[in-house]
A and B are shown apart, each in its own frame.
Chain A
Amino acid sequence: MKSSFNSCPQHENFEELAALAAVGELSPLELERLRHHLAECSLCRAVYEAFADVASNDLGVVAAADQIIEEVGYGSEDEAEAREHLGRLRDRLKAGASAEQSFTGPRAAEKREIHRARPGGYRRAAYGIAAGILLAAAAAGGIAFWRAAKDLSVERARLHELRSVVDSLKQEKRDDRASSNDAVLRSLQESQKARDSLQKSLAVSAARNEELLERERASEAKLAGAIATAEQLRQQLAMNDGDRERLAKLKQESDTRLREALAELYEARQAPVETATKSAAHEEAKLAPDVQPSPENGASPASPTEVEARNLFGARDLHIVDVYDVAGDGKTKRTYGRVYYVEKRLLVFYAFDLENRQNRKRGVFQAWGYREANLGKPLSLGLFAIDDNPTSRWVLTVNRPDVLSHIDAVFVTVEPPGGSTTPRGKKVLYASLIGPPNHP
């Protein structure tokens, strides 16, 4: 709604107070404010009068109409009460009749006519009474003036007190506003600090988040590399498994072939030995029929049997000693030999090119064993037999542990056909069996 105080907007607050004052709805402080303001502001005073006119006169018409509608008839009790009040009203009218000189209507004129019709004595008396009344009225007026002045001074003092109260309230309001402003300022500063702190925390968190993201990306890359490597390793492992299986298969095949080769080799060796043995026996029988291996020597057939060959090849303490015959001038002779010796169990002595023109004439070749530290009599190990004639290979096999456990050296002599009990002929080959096994 458009204000009535367009030219004086600061008075708008008093407009509401004026409206409420028209029906007596103001608090003491509000009423005092309004009274103070209305005493100085004619504009607001006019507004107040307009509100009061609406409230007291205009709305009274409608109120009267409503009241008329609500009216009901009244009984004898109401009439008695009304007559009682009428009596009081009449008393008041009579009491005030003497002072009612200000009436301006037919009644006043009537009274004036009555007064004019009275005799002069009464008029003088009336004048005297009127003078007395005037004097009394003057005295009463003086007293009233004095009381009004007194009340005015009290009123002013009270107004001064109220103004001081209002000033103190205004000051308190200003102080409250100032303190409120300070509090708001402090709150704003604290909020600013909190916001700065939060922004810093946010920046740190963002950096940390970025770092974590970077780490995550690196970890993902590493993980991808590890997965690729694992895949390669898995493929390689599969390939290795294939290689292993292939190698195992090859090993099995090679073992099979080795065993077959050994068997073939053994068979291949066994057949010439038997042939050579038979041939040698035949030759010896032909050349030296009287020379036979002595039973006490226990010489086995010249070539090792299959069992002996297996024991020899599979021995863990095998001695293989190459034997050369050295001449007096330090030169190596043509004759040489090779001893296969399994300690205290088996000895196979191959000799090559034993025969020459002198040796063939002298007799047979006999092996002897002895212990170098013991200067006792050498033990006969047996006679050599030809093993392979084309290659001029001779062989002697000794499988007597009781003999072999007492020797640590062997030598070969040329003995007369049939052999000798003690070595008498020329030493051809000599080999020492002392020392650790050299095979494997």
Chain B
Amino acid sequence: MFGTVCTPIMRGKMAEHAHVGLLTDEALLHNIAHGCEDCFDLLFLRFFRPVLNMAFKIIRDRSEAEDVVQEVFLAIHEQRERFDPSLGSARTWVIQFGYYKSMKRRTYLWNRQFYAPHVDEDGDGRDPALVQPEFIQRSAEEKEIIEQGLACLNPAQRRIMELVHFEGHTLREISQMEGKELGAIRNSYYRGLKTMKAMLTDGVRRTQVRAVAPAKRREEYEIEL
């Protein structure tokens, strides 16, 4: 596949390009958006391992993680024109997509343990009551704000958030690791996520987060169990 030249069908849509040597991730996505299947293959080969690692970290199941990888690249293939290079790098976008799909699958799998007959059988995880949000690419500025929001949490809340979202631990596992009651861990996670939501979804959050951060940190510390 490497060293080939794009098909003549695509020549009218984008500049002719060779797949010899390295193309940037953004260039690959650009070419994919213009119908270059070879670039899609290159993108898959380039991001298969990172997305698989991300999915396995979140889901803890190899076959489910591999399935998530398939879902991710199917979605990229379907929504290839959605990537906006002005918001962030292609690499972040792909792995963020992998994270989004992994979390969605994780929630689906967890809920299916109890309500398998009532959950959509196609594996999409859509629940009429628990509607999953659409994937939205976040900008670099938003990433910085999110990191600041995490920094505003008290240490216990921040650690729980990181263990859940970045390490893929369940709250029960965290309860055993930290030697605390599950109820306390659940409440601490709830308050951390609530703080993040307040900062990221309220109207003033994106402009005032820097000013509010110290006061909010103190407040969170006071109500921490």
From A23, A28, A103, A106, contact of B33 by CB (8 A): A106
Option from B49, B78, B127, B133 in Cβ contact (under 8 Å) with A35? B127
B22, CB-defined interface residue at 8 Å: no
In the complex, the answer to whether B91 meets A68 with C-beta atoms within 8 Å is yes
A62, B146: Cβ atoms under 8 Å? yes
A60 near B223 with CB under 8 A, answer: no
Chain A residues lying within 8 Å of B161, measured Cβ to Cβ, are 59
What total of chain B residues lie within 8 Å of the partner, measured CB to CB? 79
Majority secondary structure, B binding face: helix
Contact between chains at A23 and B164 (CB < 8 Å): yes
B residues 122-143 with Cβ under 8 Å of A?
A: 127-133, 135-136, 138, 142-143
Does B181 sit at the interface, judged by CB under 8 A? no
B133 touches A49 (CB 8 A): yes
B77-119 Cβ-contact flags toward A at 8 Å (1 or 0): 1101100000010011001101110011011111100110110
B19 part of interface (Cβ distance < 8 Å): no
Instruction: Check B70 against A53 for contact (C-beta < 8 Å).
Output: no
Option from B88, B109, B223 in Cβ contact (under 8 Å) with A24:
B109
User: Is the C-beta of A105 less than 8 angstroms from some C-beta in chain B?
Assistant: yes
Known: A16-B187, A67-B54, A68-B95. A56 touches B48 (CB 8 A): no
CB-based contact B194/A61 at 8 Å: no
Q: Are A31 and B114 in contact (CB under 8 A)?
A: yes
Tell me the count of chain A residues lying within 8 A, CB to CB, of chain B: 63
Hey, which chain A residues are within 8 Å of B34, CB to CB?
106
Say whether A45 faces chain B, with CB atoms less than 8 Å apart.
yes
Interface members, chain A 65-90 (any B CB < 8 Å): 65-68, 70-71, 74, 78-79, 81-83, 85-86, 88-89
Chain A residues in 8 Å Cβ range of B9:
110
Residue of A48, A71, A105, A158 touching B50 (CB-CB under 8 A)? A71
Query: B156 within 8 Å of A by Cβ?
Result: no
Taking a contact as CB atoms under 8 Å apart, the answer to whether A68 and B115 are in contact is: no
CB distance from B2 to the nearest CB of A (A): 11
Let me know if A56 and B118 touch, CB within 8 A: no
Contact yes or no, B44 A25, CB < 8 A: no
| Residue numbers in B under 8 Å from A78 (CB-CB) | 48-49
Q: Which residues of A contact B92 (CB under 8 A)?
A: 61, 64-65, 68
Q: Is the interface of A mostly helix, strand, loop or mixed?
A: helix
Shortest Cβ gap from B69 to chain A (Å): 6
Q: Given A68-B92, A155-B118, verify A58-B54 contact (CB < 8 Å).
A: no
Most chain B beta carbons < 10 A, residue from A38, A51, A62, A83: A62
Q: Which residues of chain B have C-beta atoms less than 8 A from A39's C-beta?
A: 128-129
| Given A22-B193, A59-B165, 12 more pairs with CB closer than 8 A | A1-B195, A16-B187, A21-B130, A25-B189, A31-B115, A38-B130, A50-B197, A56-B104, A61-B142, A61-B146, A85-B69, A89-B73
24 contacts between A and B (CB under 8 A): A15-B194, A25-B171, A31-B114, A34-B130, A50-B201, A52-B130, A52-B132, A56-B99, A56-B100, A56-B132, A57-B133, A58-B200, A61-B92, A62-B146, A63-B95, A64-B95, A82-B48, A82-B49, A85-B44, A85-B66, A92-B74, A106-B13, A110-B35, A155-B118
